[in-house]
Amino acid sequence: MRNHLIISSLALAAAAGTASAQQACSTYEIQRGDSLRELSIEVYSTEDFRIIYDANRDVIGNNPNIIRVGDVLNMPCLEEIGRAPAAPQTEAEAMAAEMAAELVKAAENRAAKAIAEAEARVAEAEAEAKKASEDAVIAAKSAAKDEIESARAEAAALIRNADAGERPEIRDRQLLLITGGNYAPFTDEALPNRGLYTYLVETAMLRAAPEQSYKIQFVNDWSSHLDLLMPTLAFDATFPWSRPNCEEAETLSEKDRARCDTYNFSNPFYEVVDTFFAREGSGHEQTLTYADFAGTTICRPEGWSLSHMDAVGLYAPAISLMRPVSPDDCFHALMNGTADIVAIEAHLAFEAIGRLGYEHRIVENPNLAAIKSLNVMTHKDNPDGEAILETLNQGLNIMQQSGEWRDIVSTALRHQMENG
């Protein structure tokens, strides 16, 4: 199952980035996969990366998130910099501190195990359901959904209960952000700067909080961001997502209303054109009104907001809706006749149509496009969520006033035009 593979890949990624054993009062040569936060945990048993950063500013530079393989860092003695931890005053205090650390670690382990076990059961249920009748398939999927929801709630409770003590300020810990790939020119690990939107977010963070440690993880199963990873507070923020018209909740689909109820949104970092594509000669590529789409099957990838379609009456029973995981699946469905229309963002569509070899066979309807914004989202249960969005908004404002935002966007779009 997709979600099971995602959690496994996250665990492998975390293991690959662990620094080899180091000690204070020594030097260390940076290896691939290192970060100041992970080194600080290894050497000083704390996430406060500034112990290392402050001692090595001349080597690292102004951005603690950028360290270079081969650079040699000084691991200072805590006594020399006046940061030696105060010894517990009593044996009871020492035992309490040790037990608190063990409880947090145990809670995190239990949370990860609960999610992994639930996903394994879902995978097994889906495999068995394929051999059963249609009624059995529906029952198995319903049971699987209940198990994931239960695991999600259990994991969130464990993490919150374990972290009941004083929470560090966001600038004293590493923020974890999540995005996905295959969304040119905005997010993909193969793109320059890992995509236009990724670069905008990183630059905003640098301009507003240059000493803030953060890490951006790519998980290409976009639906898992909102259905699994963000609700358990495994990540602090996710991007890029569109903000539904939350002020008119009665016009939204159930999922879009849930997005408004569950998440907070940054200011828009970028605007895109959401439009419709159809087969050349079908007639749907020339229609002037949404009403002409009545009775059609419209494909829109899973996880993408339906707010634009809901607002103009494109929902069941007026139309039939397909929601595959991949945008490519929508274009394949359009070509094999199982879908009549693909509702999708224009940049992504043109890239996919060219890559799949469907030029001049799938065309855009230029009459029914709509503009939507792309935002960063934080979960409302995250106590640091609003502070993170405020930081990003401040950085974005600095970029827009200086002209840096325009320079980044024009460079990325020019690269896309020149390289297809």
pLDDT in tens, 67-102: 999 999 999 998 877 776 555 566 666 666 566 566
Taking the C-alpha atoms of residue 188 and residue 119, their distance in angstroms, rounded to an integer, is 26
Residues 234-271 pLDDT 10s:
899 999 998 988 888 887 888 888 899 999 999 999 99
215 burial (CB, 10 Å; 0-12 / 13-18 / 19+) is middle
CB 232 within 8 A of CB 159: yes
CB 172 within 8 A of CB 64: no
Q: How far apart are the first and last CA of the chain?
A: 32
Taking the C-alpha atoms of residue 240 and residue 187, their distance in angstroms, rounded to an integer, is 8
pTM of the full structure: 0.56
Domain 16-75, CATH:
3.10.350.10
Ramachandran region, residue 403 (left: φ > 0; alpha: ψ -120 to 50; beta: rest): left
Q: Backbone phi, then psi, for 322, in 5-degree steps?
A: -110, 140
Strand segments, DSSP code E, in 305-399 are 320-322, 341-345, 362-379
Which one, of 41, 401, 7, lies nearest residue 213 by Cα?
A: 41
Pick the CATH number of 174-268+379-419 from 1.10.300.10, 3.20.190.10, 3.40.1120.10, 3.40.190.10: 3.40.190.10
Which one, of 165, 172, 17, 10, lies nearest residue 101 by Cα?
A: 165
Taking the C-alpha atoms of residue 389 and residue 266, their distance in angstroms, rounded to an integer, is 5
What are the pLDDT tens digits along the chain (420 aa)?
333 333 333 333 333 334 445 788 999 999 988 888 888 888 888 888 889 999 999 999 888 888 999 999 999 998 877 776 555 566 666 666 566 566 656 666 776 777 777 777 777 777 776 666 666 667 766 776 666 666 556 655 554 554 444 545 666 788 999 999 888 889 999 999 999 999 999 999 999 999 899 999 999 888 888 888 899 888 999 999 989 888 888 878 888 888 999 999 999 999 988 899 999 999 999 999 999 999 999 999 887 878 788 878 888 899 999 999 888 999 999 999 999 999 998 888 988 899 899 999 999 998 998 888 999 999 999 999 999 999 999 999 999 999 999 999 988 888 877 776
Taking the C-alpha atoms of residue 199 and residue 51, their distance in angstroms, rounded to an integer, is 27
Taking the C-alpha atoms of residue 412 and residue 272, their distance in angstroms, rounded to an integer, is 14
- 16-75 with 174-268+379-419: one CATH topology? no
| Domain 271-373 indexed as CATH 3.90.550.10 | no
Taking the C-alpha atoms of residue 126 and residue 134, their distance in angstroms, rounded to an integer, is 12
Name the token pair of 66: 């950028």
| Helical H segments across 170-225, by residue range | 196-208, 222-224
Helix pair 196-208, 385-402: axis angle to 10 deg: 100
Write out the H or E segment, with its range, that includes residue 271.
strand 270-279
- β-strand pairing of 362-379 with 237-241: antiparallel
Taking the C-alpha atoms of residue 360 and residue 276, their distance in angstroms, rounded to an integer, is 15
Residue 272 to residues 197, 250, 339: CA-CA distances in angstroms?
A: 12, 24, 23
- Per-domain boundaries in the chain: 16-75, 91-162, 174-268+379-419, 271-373
| Helical H segments across 163-253, by residue range | 196-208, 222-224
Running DSSP on this structure, what letter comes out for residue 282? Answer: S
